[in-house]
């Protein structure tokens, strides 16, 4: 099963913009190691930046894949920029907004805004957390001479389930 780093798609404008959220939960085991208590220091559970980037890659990847009805195998090719200024901690919700910057037959570039929602302060707007810009390759178009399986292994059941539970129609 694919390790999903977003919980729900909340907005989708085909080929243009997708917003997804991720609830950070203390039930996630890795938070107990990142960072565990050490002599002279209490435990500090923080969602690792690498997983925040993966969350944006899934958000933007779905946006790029959806634009072509998931016919292309969309692979993360490059992290063009990643700035994370606030620690995401359990009990908060990350809001990912991915926007297509450019897209053609070979791939796409996206810009991404990361925000943090504090459920204890629903009156406050999401606070800026960082920015993650990415590049995606449609691998069948770029790795000439290499062959890949016919079926789209990128957008497997995990993604389809996520989209369905978010109320978005996906091909069977």
Partner 1 sequence: MLSRDEILSKIKTVLADSLAVDEDDIRPESTLTGDLGAESIDFLDIGFRIDKAFGIKIQQGELFPENAAQDPTLVKDGKVTPEGLTRLKARLPHFDFTGFEKDPQLAKIAQIFTVDALVKFVEAKLAKQG
Catalytic annotation, residues: 34
- Closest to partner 1 by CB, 4 vs 77, is 77
The residue within the footprint of partner 1, chosen from 42, 102, 125, 153 (CB under 8 A), is 102
Minimum gap (Å) between residue 101 Cβ and partner 1: 7
CA distance 67 to 72: 9
CA diameter of the chain: 56
* Residues in 106-165 at the binding interface with partner 1, rule: CB under 8 A: 106-107, 109, 135, 137, 141-142, 144-145
Closer Cβ to partner 1, 119 or 147, answer by number: 147
Cβ atoms of 154 and 109 closer than 8 Å:
no
Residue 30 or 71 having the CB closest to partner 1: 71
Q: Could you give the CA distance from residue 46 to residue 11 in angstroms, rounded to a whole number?
A: 26
> Residue 35, preceding bond cis, omega within 30 degrees?
yes
- Binding to partner 1 by residue 78, rule CB under 8 A? yes
113 Cβ contact partners less than 8 Å away, ≥ 6 residues apart: 96, 97, 99, 128, 131
Q: According to CB under 8 A, which residues from 41 to 60 bind partner 1?
A: none
């Amino acid at each position: 099963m694919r390790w999903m780093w977003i919980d729900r798609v909340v907005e989708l404008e085909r080929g243009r913009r997708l917003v997804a959220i991720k609830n950070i939960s203390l039930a996630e085991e890795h938070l107990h190691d990142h960072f565990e208590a050490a002599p002279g220091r209490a435990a500090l559970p923080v969602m690792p930046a690498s997983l925040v980037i993966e969350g944006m890659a899934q958000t933007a990847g779905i946006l790029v894949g959806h634009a072509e009805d998931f016919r292309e195998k969309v692979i993360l090719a490059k992290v063009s920029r990643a700035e994370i200024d606030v620690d995401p901690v359990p009990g908060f919700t990350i809001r990912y907004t991915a926007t297509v910057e450019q897209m053609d037959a070979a791939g796409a570039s996206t810009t991404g805004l990361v925000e943090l929602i504090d459920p204890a302060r629903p009156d406050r707007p999401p606070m800026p957390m960082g920015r993650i810009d990415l590049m995606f390759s449609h691998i069948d178009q770029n790795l000439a001479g290499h062959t890949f399986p016919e079926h789209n292994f990128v957008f497997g059941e995990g993604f389809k389930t996520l989209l369905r539970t978010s109320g978005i129609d996906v091909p069977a």
